A and B are shown apart, each in its own frame.
Chain A
Amino acid sequence: GNSVTQMEGPVTLSEEAFLTINCTYTATGYPSLFWYVQYPGEGLQLLLKATKADDKGSNKGFEATYRKETTSFHLEKGSVQVSDSAVYFCALSDKDTGNQFYFGTGTSLTVIP
């Protein structure tokens, strides 16, 4: 079946530090991969996505590369800001098994000045 595994949180970083949030997946077909961000009290916002192997999604300084050989989609940012504090969710969509998204459990990030 389909599933997404994210690194456990919470993660606390100082401003301007490098960020990596690991995400690996299991899929029966050829999934699309997504990162969503959830700010306190709000819904999920799409951060970036990649729809095939070796694609790199990027947005607002964040990036992630679809690695089929390691079934991974790790999120990275070179220099985090306080405003990046949020919960980050990795997700996959696999049309072969339906229209639902499969989400990881989320990784909470706190950036301190």
Chain B
Amino acid sequence: NAGVMQNPRHLVRRRGQEARLRCSPMKGHSHVYWYRQLPEEGLKFMVYLQKENIIDESGMPKERFSAEFPKEGPSILRIQQVVRGDSAAYFCASSLTSGRTDTQYFGPGTRLTVL
């Protein structure tokens, strides 16, 4: 059973460009979470999605960031008009259900560098 897949692993963008990060959850998982890890910091929650629905986006910046999890295909985290402060590692996690005791399984991350 393949784990959580993310691509690309490394992404370089110039200021003002768009970044698209992809996440395929573990097989059978319909709950997807995105986290951001800034240098020397822990992971910060951004958004929680189920198929075709955003359930909790309380951690998403209000502008330039969006996320989707379509019926078919991977979840996408989209950052428009990137700025240097967006440079970070972005991790996707998935879970089988959304209970309090459920484990979130993490992908290898996408390391975004904004020049």
Contacts of B55 in A (CB 8 A): 99
Residues of A28-43 contacting chain B, CB below 8 A: 29-32, 34, 36, 42-43
B25 contacts partner chain A, Cβ-Cβ < 8 Å: no
Max chain B Cβ within 10 angstroms of own Cβ: one of A34, A94, A95, A96: A95
Which of A4, A98, A102 gathers most chain B CB within 10 Å? Answer: A98
Question: Which listed segment binds A: B42-50, B69-77, B79-87?
Answer: B42-50
Task: For the complex, give the distance between the alpha carbons of A42 and B107 in Å.
Answer: 8
Q: Interface size (B, Cβ < 8 Å)?
A: 30
A103 in the interface, Cβ–Cβ < 8 Å? yes
Q: Which of B1-59 contact A (CB under 8 A)?
A: 4, 6, 31, 33, 35, 40-45, 48, 55-56, 58-59
Interface size class of A (residues with CB under 8 A): 20 to 34
| Contacts from A to B (Cβ < 8 Å) | 4, 29-32, 34, 36, 42-46, 49, 51, 89, 93-96, 98-106
- Could you list 13 A-B pairs, sorted by A, with CB under 8 Å? A32-B101, A43-B108, A45-B106, A49-B101, A51-B100, A93-B100, A98-B48, A99-B33, A99-B56, A100-B56, A103-B42, A103-B44, A105-B40
